[in-house]
Structure 1
Amino acid sequence: MTKLITIAALFITSLFFGQGKYEEGMGKAFQLWKEGSNTEASAMFERIASAEKDNWLPNYYVALVNVTTAFTTQDKDKLSALLNKAQDAVDVELAKAPENPELLVVQAMIYTAWIVYDPMANGRKYGSKASEVYEKAIKIAPENPRVVFCKAEFEIGGAKFWGTDIKPMCAEVDRAIGLFATYKNDTKFAPSWGLDRALETQAACKK
């Protein structure tokens, strides 16, 4: 009995130790990202993902860091490297959880980044793919503020390109802002971004 208790105690201690290392690593990765060290942040999230194979969040942030960085470059080689890394990370997690709405949002963002880089070459190829992903995400999580906002933002871009009315999408941006105020996620390090961009888009809608 004593031996069993000792083994149990060691197991529990190892769980807490492991959790502590995970939280420490995630915190460091977020700090690097906040400081603008995107490459280093991505590498840190990748190391955590390799150790936390049952946790989708590290790979989610590998993808998010790289896709958001991709929106800031017009260098084709750099953009391709960033988006390929983001895609690889998303593929790993979507294979395990194909209906995770947060992962679907990032997948749609990857398609959007390709479109933004070269609308004429990539618009037709990736536009329908992004729309399909957003439609899937909104059916799964109609009250998720990132799903609602990012879908609306993507559709606003398309409407402006084609010269159509953006009012319905702006109404969805308003709805997303309300959802940001009430949406709860109890998982530590779960996605919480998007409100600032939604407010900026709301202000642009009113001009």
Structure 2
Amino acid sequence: MKKLILTISLSLIGFTAFAQTAYEKAMTEKIAKVEEHKKPDEFTALANDFDRIGTKENTQWLPYYYAAFATIQKGRILMRGDDKSGLDAVAAEAERYIAKSEVLSANNAELYILKKMTSGLRMMADPMSRYMSEAPVAQQALAKAQELDPNNPRITILQAEDAYFTPEQFGGSKEKGLELFKKAIEQFGTYKSKSSLDPKWGKAEAEYLLSQK
């Protein structure tokens, strides 16, 4: 009987390890596509894929995190176009995924980073009328992220973007932005992610913008 129980226990351990490996494999494949995709529809499909993984792996916060991030990437593409009428809907969808992720991982700096980005999408839908309402929301989210994880390079990336892309008459500075991008790259050199699936984005953008100066 003891031998039977041990055999069953070992089988369960092996099955659990296999399931975890299958989850990691699926996530790794989908995360790679975040860097590859260029079209809004591709990011919509990718967000749906992450959402399905999240439904299956219902104790994991990262699938919903990446669903939100893919949705935000879609919004950033739309933001560069002439028609920004869809940004509110994109922001709302990203916030829905963030809320799902936050249930599984409260007080997570990476989620506050996404909240900052989502607020930025809402502001860009109508910058002139929304700056006063959305800018404080975005900055509060980023401040909370910094409180939770002060050395996170993605916080510095967002600070650098704000400085770099804001006109000087509104307090921006390309020089300050570039200095912050340099700081972010230094942080990437020492920052340790909690797992192989945790967010790692941001370094390529910093390196690209620094190469353009």
Instruction: Please indicate the TM-score interval, normalised by the length of the shorter structure.
Output: 0.7 to 0.9
The equivalent position to 1:84 in structure 2, one of 86, 92, 98, is: 92
Change (3 A) 1:27 1:166: closer
Residue in 2 that maps onto 1:40: 45
Residue in 2 that maps onto 1:23: 24
Q: Is the counterpart of residue 102 in structure 1 residue 102 in structure 2?
A: no
When normalised by structure 2's length, the TM-score is 0.84
The equivalent position to 1:135 in structure 2, one of 122, 140, 143, is: 143
Task: Tell me the CA shift for residue 174 of structure 1.
Answer: 1.8
Query: Which amino acid in 2 is paired with 1:70?
Result: G
Gaps of 5+ in 2: none
Instruction: Give the fraction of aligned pairs with identical amino acids, expressed as a percent.
Output: 25
Change (3 A) 1:35 1:134: closer
The equivalent position to 1:68 in structure 2, one of 66, 73, 79, is: 73
- Helix, strand or coil at the partner of 1:72: helix
Q: Is the counterpart of residue 184 in structure 1 residue 175 in structure 2?
A: no
Task: Tell me the CA shift for residue 22 of structure 1.
Answer: 0.8
Q: Tell me if the contact between 1:30 and 1:41 (Cα under 8 Å) persists in the aligned partners.
A: no
Change (3 A) 1:30 1:166: closer
Residue in 1 that maps onto 2:15: 14
Cα distance in 1 between the residues matched to 2:37 and 2:156: 28
Query: Which amino acid in 1 is paired with 2:43?
Result: N
Q: Tell me if the contact between 1:29 and 1:42 (Cα under 8 Å) persists in the aligned partners.
A: no
Q: Tell me if the contact between 1:67 and 1:109 (Cα under 8 Å) persists in the aligned partners.
A: yes
Query: Which amino acid in 2 is paired with 1:93?
Result: S
Deviates more, 1:121-130 or 1:159-168: 159-168
When normalised by structure 1's length, the TM-score is 0.86
Residues 118-129 of structure 1 correspond to what in structure 2 (within 5 A)?
118-129=126-137
Gaps of 5+ in 1: none
Change (3 A) 1:182 1:78: same
Task: Tell me the CA shift for residue 57 of structure 1.
Answer: 0.9
The equivalent position to 1:57 in structure 2, one of 54, 59, 62, is: 62
- Helix, strand or coil at the partner of 1:199: helix
Q: Tell me if the contact between 2:71 and 2:93 (Cα under 8 Å) persists in the aligned partners.
A: yes
Say what the alpha-carbon RMSD is for the aligned residues: 2.4
Task: Tell me the CA shift for residue 169 of structure 1.
Answer: 4.4
Change (3 A) 1:88 1:187: same
